[in-house]
């Protein structure tokens, strides 16, 4: 059985347009502009996700409020960056929690580009941009 989530490409353009309450030509225009980027099948047909539909509705709302298409593009770009950063934080939190469970005696952990490592008491991280997590005794 297939699992579906908000990023599963499943809607053809006519269905996506109906769900977004837009004309299919508008969806094609937004695709050309890079506002919404649906997946493509091997035959180059567009397949929209629920996330794409939500973005299309956001575009319609912002447009009706007078935001320019360039402004909308920038807002969507920032929302996507925000979502990616939130996912990165969740991933780091999970890794840290796993590390804390594997090393119950360690007190200091540092998260950097190399992942999460524990430090011996009194040692400093060699990475200046690392985030240190201290666990009290």
- Number of structural domains found in the chain: 2
- Claim to verify: residue 63 and residue 97 sit in the same structural domain: no
pTM above 0.85, yes or no: no
DSSP letters along 21-80, please? TS-HHHHHHHHHHTSS--EE-TT--EEB-HHHHHHHHHHHHHHHTT--HHHHHHHHHHHH
Here the tokens at position 80 are 């996507």
pLDDT tens digit string along 28-84? 999 999 999 999 999 999 999 999 999 999 999 999 999 999 999 999 999 889 989
- Claim to verify: residue 58 and residue 14 sit in the same structural domain: yes
Separation of first and last alpha carbons in the chain: 47
- Claim to verify: residue 62 and residue 118 sit in the same structural domain: no
- Claim to verify: residue 58 and residue 98 sit in the same structural domain: no
What's the rounded Cα separation, in Å, for the pair 20 and 12?
12
- Claim to verify: residue 44 and residue 97 sit in the same structural domain: no
The pLDDT of 19-23, averaged and rounded, is 95
In a domain, 75, yes or no: no
What CATH number is given to the structural domain containing 29?
Answer: 1.10.1660.10
Report the percentage of the chain scoring pLDDT > 90.
51
Supply the range of the domain harboring residue 24. 1-67
In a domain, 78, yes or no: no
Residues 6+ apart with CB under 8 A from 101: none
């Amino acid at each position: 059985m297939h699992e579906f989530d908000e990023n599963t490409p499943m809607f053809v353009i006519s269905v996506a347009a109906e769900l977004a309450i837009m004309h299919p030509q508008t969806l094609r225009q937004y695709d050309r502009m890079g506002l919404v980027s649906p997946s493509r099948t091997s035959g180059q047909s567009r397949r929209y996700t629920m996330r794409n539909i939500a973005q299309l509705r956001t575009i319609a709302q912002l447009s009706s409020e007078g935001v320019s298409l360039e402004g909308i593009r920038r807002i969507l770009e920032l929302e996507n960056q925000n979502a990616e950063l939130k996912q990165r934080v969740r991933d780091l939190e999970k890794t840290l929690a796993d590390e804390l469970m594997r090393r119950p005696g360690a007190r200091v952990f540092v998260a950097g580009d190399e992942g999460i490592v524990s430090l011996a008491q009194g040692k400093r991280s060699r990475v200046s941009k690392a985030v240190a997590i201290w666990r009290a005794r």
